[in-house]
């Protein structure tokens, strides 16, 4: 089954459009995980990251559609962290979760093929279901990813309108009335047009931040065949009303990511006293329920 159809099936099966962002950071790990780290070696921290993410995965499996490990935090630990990334991806897939590896990779054509192969290919050491990809290098940098998606029933999410305050500097620039992000959307729609699955969606998803609700509505209209990954919910300021425009009339077509608000829920004011560090997984569970409830339209 194509990635797009698997994502639709996952949303229907779980009744959730939540994507849990797995962004392990040393300083914010709950005390039971952090205190168990022996020494300060990359291997020790990598083991802690694996444990932290895998325990979260066990809590949210069957209750959310997908998880999104952030490559940067694993990369920060060096090769040991990259081993952990692979373990986390494998654990999530075994738990029945779809995996969006957030790497924002890309390069010119022949090198883009290497990235596509690395994360999505037949012999991929990480074996992810999908990968986030940057569009700055244009059409011929995206084609190798689309080809690998075709071969492997994998998916990509192309950056369109990112959630950060400064994203507009390039993305919002208009030429003949069309923004850069809309030009990216046009290309994505073209890629998907010949690749739509039973769900009505194709392999080329997009990233549109929850922090730009107007642009999200605009992009939903311009991207009829594209799953939209919506970051920026929760800690970055986006709320349920801000993301509603990302969905189609069936409640499909978008997944909403929250990282810190779920994985570090034990530190949130509303959960801190009730759960604290000791019961950090109960905080993860409560935050997941809370987000799912907010996103049931």
Q: Which residues are catalytic?
A: 104
CA pair distance 75, 273, nearest whole angstrom: 33
Q: Does residue 251 touch a copy of itself according to CB under 8 A?
A: no
Q: CA 24 → CA 54, 147, 268, distances in Å?
A: 11, 31, 16
Structure tokens at 187: 């290309």
Q: Does residue 182 touch a copy of itself according to CB under 8 A?
A: no
Q: Does residue 137 touch a copy of itself according to CB under 8 A?
A: yes
CA pair distance 105, 173, nearest whole angstrom: 22
Q: Does residue 183 touch a copy of itself according to CB under 8 A?
A: yes
CA pair distance 289, 285, nearest whole angstrom: 6
Count, residues in the chain:
297
Q: Which one of residues 27, 39, 175, 273 is an interface residue with a copy of itself (CB under 8 A)?
A: 175
Q: Which one of residues 3, 115, 157, 275 is an interface residue with a copy of itself (CB under 8 A)?
A: 115
* 89-108 positions binding a copy of itself, by CB under 8 A: 102, 104-108
Q: Which one of residues 12, 32, 61, 138 is an interface residue with a copy of itself (CB under 8 A)?
A: 138
SS3 state of residue 104: strand
Q: Does residue 237 touch a copy of itself according to CB under 8 A?
A: no
Query: Per-residue x/- mask for a copy of itself, residues 37 to 76, rule CB under 8 A?
Result: -----x---------------------------x-xx-xx
Burial 146-182 (b: 16+ CB within 10 A, else e): bebbeebbbbbbbbbbbbeeebbeebeeeeeeebbbb
**Please, what is the angle between helix 180-193 and helix 139-152, to 10°?**
30
From 93-101, 122-130, 214-222, 241-249, give the range in contact with a copy of itself by CB under 8 A: 122-130
User: Residues in the site for a copy of itself, rule: CB under 8 A?
Assistant: 23, 25, 42, 70, 72-73, 75-83, 86, 102, 104-109, 111-112, 114-115, 117-118, 124-126, 134-141, 159, 162-171, 173-175, 180, 183-184, 187, 231
């Amino acid at each position: 089954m194509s990635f797009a159809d698997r994502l639709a099936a996952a949303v229907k099966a779980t009744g959730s459009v939540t994507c849990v962002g797995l962004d392990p950071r040393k300083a914010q790990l709950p005390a039971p995980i952090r205190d168990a780290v022996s020494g300060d070696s990359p291997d020790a921290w990598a083991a802690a990251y694996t444990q932290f993410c895998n325990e979260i995965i066990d809590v949210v499996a069957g209750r959310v559609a997908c998880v999104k490990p952030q490559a940067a935090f694993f990369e920060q630990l060096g090769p040991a962290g990259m081993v952990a990334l692979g373990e986390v991806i494998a654990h999530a897939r075994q738990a029945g979760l779809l995996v969006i590896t957030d790497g924002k990779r890309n390069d010119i054509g022949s090198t883009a093929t290497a990235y596509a192969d690395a994360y999505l290919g037949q012999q991929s050491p990480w074996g992810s279901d999908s990968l986030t990809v940057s569009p700055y290098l244009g059409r011929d940098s995206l084609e190798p990813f689309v080809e690998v998606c075709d071969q492997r029933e994998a998916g990509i999410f192309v950056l369109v309108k990112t959630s950060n305050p400064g994203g507009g500097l390039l993305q919002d620039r208009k030429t003949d009335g069309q923004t850069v992000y809309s030009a990216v959307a046009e290309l994505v729609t073209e890629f998907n047009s010949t690749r739509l699955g039973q769900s009505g969606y194709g392999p080329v998803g997009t990233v549109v931040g929850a922090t730009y609700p107007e642009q999200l509505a605009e992009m939903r209209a311009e991207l009829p065949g594209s799953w939209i990954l919506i970051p920026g919910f929760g800690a970055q300021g986006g709320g349920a009303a801000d993301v509603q425009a990302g969905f189609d009339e069936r409640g499909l077509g978008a997944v909403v990511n929250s990282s810190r608000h779920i994985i570090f829920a034990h530190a949130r004011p509303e959960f801190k006293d009730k759960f604290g560090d000791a019961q950090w997984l109960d905080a993860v569970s409560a935050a997941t329920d809370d987000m799912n409830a907010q996103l049931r339209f």
